[in-house]
C-alpha cells in the first residue's frame, strides 16, 4: 500500500467509522468489507438479505463476522426511516412512495448515513454514478454555501501527490461552480496532507488569449478568493505555467504560485477527464478516486470496473472524510 493510504489508515483506524456498502452481493465489495473489518479499519455495514450475503461470502471463503448486515425488509427502524424520508423530501414523496423507494439499497443506505446510523457510503461497483449520487443529493445534500457536488482525483506517483478537479461530475461549470470546486478541492487536498496551492487552468495564461472560456475561469478565480481569502490560488494558467517554475517565471512572474501548484482546477469536465487519464496512462500516476466533495456527509462512487482493492481504498477515504468533518 502506498504511503498515501498508510497515513489515511492510521487516521481512521481509531475513529471507529461505520461505512455502508449497498452492493453486498458483489464479490469485490464483500472482499473489501471482509478485509476492512478484519484489519479493524472501519465497521462495514452491508445492505441485503443476510442469508444471501452470507452464502455469497461462503462461496469465496470470506469472513464477515466483523460486518453488520441489514435487510431493509426486516429493519427495526424502518417506520422511523419512512417518516424521516417524507419529511426530508418536503412534499416530493408520500409515505407510500417512501416505502417503495427505501427498498432500493442505495436510498436505504443513504438514509442510514442521513440518520447518523452510519458515517459514509460507498457504492457504484454495480450501480451507475447517478444511482449513487442522486440519493445523496436528495437526502444528505450539499454543505451550506455549496450548490453542487464535484469529483476529484488524487494523482499519486511515489512521493508526488496532486489534486485534479472536477474530473467526474460537472460537465460545463460556470464561474460560481469553478469557485466552489477550487475551494472544496483545497479542503480535500488537506485531507491527504497536501498544502493546497490552487491553479485555475485554461488554454491561456494571464490574458494571453481572451474568450468567453478564459473570462469564465478568471471570474471563478475572483469568486474563489472571495469565498476563502486565505487560499493560495491564481489563474488563469496553461498547465506548464502552473507547474513548471521556469515557465512560470516567463509567463507569470508575479504569480503567488510561481509554478508550484499542486491542486489543478480544470475549466470543464472534458478537459479534466482527459487530463487525469493522460497523467495516469502516460505519466504513470495512480488515479485515486473519484472522490466526491461538497456534501454534508461523505458518499463516494466506484467505477463499475473497480477491483476489490479500489473498494477497500475508497472506503478508507470515505472514513477519512468523515473523520475530518
Q: Can you read off the three cell numbers belonging to residue 200?
A: 485555475
| pLDDT tens per residue across span 212-237 | 999 999 999 999 999 999 999 998 99
Residue in the block written with cell 440519493:
135
Of 9-18, 33-42, 82-91, 244-253, the range with the lowest mean pLDDT is 9-18
Residue 130 pLDDT level (bands cut at 50, 70, 90): confident
Query: According to the model, what pLDDT value does residue 5 have?
Result: 76
On average, the pLDDT of the chain sits at 93
Q: Please report which helix (H) or strand (E) contains residue 281, including its range.
A: helix 269-281
What average pLDDT score do residues 16-22 get? 95
Query: According to the model, what pLDDT value does residue 78 have?
Result: 95
Three-state DSSP class for 121? strand
Q: 10 Å Cβ neighbour count for 239?
A: 18
Closest CA to 196 of 133, 285, 256: 256
Q: Where are the domains of the chain?
A: 3-141+296-323, 150-286
- Which architecture, in CATH terms, is 3-141+296-323? 3-Layer(aba) Sandwich (3.40)
Angle ∠(54,59,65) on CA atoms, nearest 5: 40
Query: According to the model, what pLDDT value does residue 2 have?
Result: 64
Give strand pairing partners of 234.
Answer: 199
**pTM of the full predicted structure?**
0.88
Number of helical H runs and strand E runs in the chain: 13, 11
Residue 153 pLDDT level (bands cut at 50, 70, 90): very high
Angle ∠(149,155,161) on CA atoms, nearest 5: 110
| pLDDT tens per residue across span 244-282 | 999 999 999 999 999 999 999 999 999 999 999 999 999
**Domains 3-141+296-323 and 150-286 equal at CATH topology level:** yes
Q: What CA–CA distance (Å, rounded) separates 46 from 53?
A: 8
| pLDDT tens per residue across span 74-90 | 999 999 999 999 999 99
Query: According to the model, what pLDDT value does residue 289 have?
Result: 81
Query: According to the model, what pLDDT value does residue 303 have?
Result: 82
What average pLDDT score do residues 184-212 get? 94
- Which architecture, in CATH terms, is 150-286? 3-Layer(aba) Sandwich (3.40)
Q: What CA–CA distance (Å, rounded) separates 64 from 295?
A: 29
Residue in the block written with cell 471507529:
16
Long-range contact list for 53-58, CB < 8 A, 24+ apart?
53/24, 53/25, 56/24, 56/25, 56/27, 56/30, 57/30
Residue 1 pLDDT level (bands cut at 50, 70, 90): low
What average pLDDT score do residues 21-31 get? 95
Query: According to the model, what pLDDT value does residue 32 have?
Result: 96
Contacts of 324 (CB under 8 A, 6+ apart): 190, 191
Query: According to the model, what pLDDT value does residue 7 have?
Result: 78
Residues above pLDDT 90, as percent of the chain: 84
For the beta sheet containing 286-293, the strands, ordered from the edge strand earlier in sequence to the opposite edge, are 233-237, 198-201, 263-265, 160-165, 150-157, 286-293
What average pLDDT score do residues 93-106 get? 94
Query: According to the model, what pLDDT value does residue 220 have?
Result: 97
What average pLDDT score do residues 118-141 get? 93
Amino acid at each position: 500500500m502506498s504511503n498515501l493510504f498508510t497515513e489515511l489508515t492510521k487516521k481512521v483506524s481509531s475513529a471507529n467509522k461505520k461505512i455502508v456498502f449497498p452492493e453486498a452481493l458483489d464479490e469485490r465489495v464483500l472482499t473489501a468489507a471482509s478485509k476492512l473489518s478484519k484489519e479493524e479499519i472501519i465497521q462495514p455495514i452491508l445492505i441485503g438479505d443476510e442469508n444471501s450475503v452470507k452464502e455469497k461470502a461462503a462461496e469465496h471463503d470470506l469472513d464477515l463476522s466483523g460486518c453488520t448486515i441489514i435487510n431493509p425488509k426486516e429493519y427495526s427502524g424502518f417506520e422511523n426511516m419512512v417518516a424521516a424520508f417524507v419529511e426530508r423530501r418536503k412534499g416530493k414523496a408520500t409515505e407510500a412512495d417512501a416505502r417503495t423507494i427505501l427498498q432500493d439499497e442505495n436510498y436505504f443506505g443513504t438514509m442510514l448515513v442521513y440518520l447518523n446510523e452510519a458515517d459514509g457510503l460507498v457504492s457504484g461497483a454495480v450501480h451507475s454514478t447517478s444511482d449513487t449520487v442522486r440519493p445523496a443529493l436528495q437526502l444528505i445534500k450539499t454543505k451550506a454555501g455549496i450548490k453542487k457536488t464535484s469529483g476529484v482525483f488524487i494523482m499519486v506517483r511515489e512521493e508526488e501527490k496532486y489534486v485534479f478537479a472536477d474530473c467526474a461530475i460537472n460537465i460545463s461549470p460556470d464561474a460560481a461552480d469553478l469557485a466552489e470546486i477550487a475551494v472544496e478541492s483545497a479542503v480535500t487536498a488537506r485531507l491527504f496532507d497536501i498544502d493546497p496551492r490552487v491553479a485555475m487552468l485554461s488554454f491561456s495564461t494571464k490574458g494571453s488569449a481572451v474568450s468567453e472560456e478564459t473570462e469564465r475561469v478568471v471570474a471563478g478565480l475572483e469568486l474563489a478568493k472571495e469565498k476563502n481569502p486565505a487560499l493560495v490560488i491564481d489563474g488563469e494558467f496553461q498547465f506548464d505555467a502552473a507547474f513548471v517554475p521556469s515557465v512560470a517565471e516567463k509567463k507569470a512572474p508575479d504569480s503567488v504560485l510561481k509554478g508550484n501548484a499542486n491542486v489543478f482546477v480544470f475549466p470543464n469536465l472534458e478537459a479534466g477527464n482527459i487530463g487525469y487519464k493522460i497523467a495516469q496512462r502516460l505519466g504513470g500516476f495512480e488515479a485515486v478516486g473519484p472522490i466526491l466533495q461538497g456534501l454534508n456527509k461523505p458518499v463516494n462512487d466506484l467505477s463499475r470496473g473497480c477491483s476489490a482493492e479500489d473498494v477497500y481504498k475508497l472506503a478508507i477515504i470515505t472514513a477519512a472524510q468523515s473523520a475530518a468533518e
